[in-house]
Amino acid sequence: MGKSWLKHLAPEEWAVYGHELFKKLQRKQLPNRYIHSLSRRDGTQRILSCNTFVLQENKGDMTGLLCVAQDITGIEGAKRELRRLIYTDYLTGLYNTRYLYKKIEEETEKSERCKDPFSLLYVDIDNFKHHNDVHGHQAGDQLLQKFSEILNSQLREKDWAFRYGGEEFIVLLPQTGEEKAWEVAVGLRKNVEQQLSLDYGITVSIGVAQYRPGKDVIEQADQAMYRAKREEKNRVCVFSEK
């Protein structure tokens, strides 16, 4: 940067940063290059790309440490925005199918490695086409946004919500078996009914499926959802091979 960046650090930040550097030096674990986030005296966060060099005497004893840092806050911010655009549905703000497949791949690998269950909810908004035909596409978009807000409010911290297409949504529930997933789905169905049924005439049908090795969990949750549709809608059905 051409300037000393240490003087811009908040005192408490410098104390923590210096302590971490010292510990890594003692363990000989200090990387030559790393990314670090720090707080400035004015309270702003900066992201630095740091290159470190250990200064030594001829005998090999360390005499000091040189750290050259480049402020890459703007670059990292642009990367985050690009990731947001790539993985987010523009209308609802939920994650899109591209990110859904990525997360399912991660959860599948984790499940098969650690024997950790995960489940999916396949959610379809009942009578959405009729609502669109009667009230128009703009009203339909507003309804999708309203539903997405309700969906997000029902998620646990570890859950993920995706717009799968049109009026179809998928919720990924890590570390969750079939029984608990059913409870989450029932809570979501009731909440949607309470908030959207009276004013919009809208309910949801939800299919639940727990991942099983070698099986397509999306397809199974989809089958369960269509069974809920056939059984009067506004229902939750769990996938069964029977």
Q: Which two tokens stand for residue 234?
A: 């506004």
| Positions marked catalytic | 167
Which phi and psi angles does 184 have, rounded to 5°? -60, -45
Q: How far apart are CA 82 and CA 76, in angstroms?
A: 10
Q: How far apart are CA 84 and CA 97, in angstroms?
A: 13
Beta-sheet strand order (sheet of 62-71): 33-39, 45-56, 62-71
Q: How far apart are CA 122 and CA 239, in angstroms?
A: 11
The string of DSSP codes covering 49-112 is: EEEEEEEE-TTS-EEEEEEEEEE-HHHHHHHHHHHHHHHB-TTT-SB-HHHHHHHHHHHHHHHH
Q: Which two tokens stand for residue 137?
A: 């596409």
Query: How far are the Cα atoms of 111, 116, 139, 175 from residue 145, in angstroms, in the given order?
Result: 32, 32, 10, 28
Query: How far are the Cα atoms of 32, 58, 169, 214 from residue 117, in angstroms, in the given order?
Result: 39, 57, 20, 14
Residue in 128, 152, 153, 155 with CA at minimum distance from that of residue 141:
128
Q: How far apart are CA 69 and CA 40, in angstroms?
A: 14
